[in-house]
Structure formats: C-alpha cells, structure tokens
Amino acid sequence: MAITKERKRELVAQYSDLLSKTDGFIVTEYRGLTVAMVNDLRNRLRDSNGTYTVTKNTLFSIALEQSGWPVPENLLLGPTAVVFGNGNLPAAAKAVQAFIKDNPDQLKVKGGVLAGSVFSAKDVEAIANLPTLDEIHAQLIGLITQPAASLVGLLNSATSQLVNVLHAYVQENSGEGEAAA
C-alpha cells in the first residue's frame, strides 16, 4: 500500500533529525528478525545511546542528501534498517556485533558511514573493535594521573631520604656534643 506524501515528508524529517544527532550510522539488512529480536537489539543499543530504525531506502537517501551526508546507494538495497551511533558509533557497533554473535542468521551488516566516508561491513567490524568513549576517557584519565602519581612517589621518596639524612646528622652531632662535654 502506497504511503501519502505527507507521511513521506514526516519520514524524511524523522530521518533528518536522527542524522543531525549522530556521528555515524551502520546500514543493516534485517530479514528474519522477530519483534522480540528487534526489541532486544534496541535495548542493547540503548546502553550505548544508539538507535535502530527501519528505513525506506528512497526516503532515507533524500534525508541523507538534504543533511549533507554521503548516500551509500550500494548499501540501500533491499530491506534496510539503520543503527545510529548518536555520539558513540564504536559502542553501537559493539552492540550490533554482540547481537549478531547471538543471532548470526537474522541480522547482516551491509556497511556504514562515519565522518563523511562510506565503509564496508568489514570496516564496521573494525570500528566495533575501537575503544568506546568511556574506555577512551578512562585511558586519558590514567595517562593524566599516572605522571602525578609518579611525582608524588618521587617526592615522598626524596622527603623520606632527607628525613633519614637529617636524623643521622642530628644523631651524629648529638653524640659529638656528649663526647665533648
């Protein structure tokens, strides 16, 4: 059944809104997914702030053009659903890969788009292996705090050595004072 022009405009606006909030997206083929599986995938993506939307290829292409994104025409064939990264595409890609591992025959990654470049399915798998934003934050905090911790240890070591030298000096001098008296 054909959809109305008004509904088409609504869908293009919805896709454009999703594109405005994302740093990249993954194009999937969703043949064989049950409603329960789609809900499971959406729940997994929610943890990484990702979203999963079944799209109309022609309308999604229009939204991509209007939003200034590249149009991966070779990926927009057949039944298509899109995973939007919403600021953390590696985490969304990890969630998709975990879902595929649990449901290998129901979802297929066709490719993706990140930073204005179109990627293959293998590239999306590599993106899934990148650290997430939280992991990067933890690594940066470790890099920042590690030198400070080393400095504190160095200062503590120097201070204790200075105290030992002063203590030995005081003991040596207090022994001389008693011997002279």
Q: What is the pTM of this model?
A: 0.70
Q: Residue 102: what are its φ and ψ, rounded to 5°?
A: -80, -25
3-state secondary structure of 65: helix
pLDDT value for 56: 94
Sheet holding 80-84, edge to edge: 51-55, 80-84, 24-29, 108-114, 117-120
pLDDT value for 128: 77
pLDDT value for 141: 82
Q: Are residues 107 and 176 in the same domain?
A: no
176 pLDDT higher than 90: no
pLDDT band at 45; cut points 50, 70, 90: very high
Q: Are residues 82 and 22 in the same domain?
A: yes
For 160, the domain range is 131-181
Listed residues 130, 145, 162: the one ending a domain = 130
Compute the mean pLDDT over every residue in the chain, rounded to the nearest whole number. 85
Q: Are residues 33 and 104 in the same domain?
A: yes
pLDDT value for 132: 66
| Average confidence (pLDDT) over 93-102 | 92
50 pLDDT higher than 90: yes
pLDDT value for 11: 94
Q: Are residues 70 and 109 in the same domain?
A: yes
Report the number of distinct structural domains present in the chain: 2
Q: Are residues 119 and 136 in the same domain?
A: no
| Average confidence (pLDDT) over 53-62 | 94
pLDDT tens digits, one per residue of 5-24: 999 999 999 999 999 999 89
Q: Are residues 37 and 122 in the same domain?
A: yes
In the DSSP assignment, the letter for residue 103 is: S
| Average confidence (pLDDT) over 91-105 | 90
Q: Are residues 167 and 104 in the same domain?
A: no
pLDDT tens digits, one per residue of 106-137: 899 999 998 888 888 888 887 777 776 677 77
pLDDT band at 76; cut points 50, 70, 90: very high
Q: Are residues 122 and 156 in the same domain?
A: no
Q: Are residues 85 and 107 in the same domain?
A: yes
Q: Are residues 179 and 109 in the same domain?
A: no
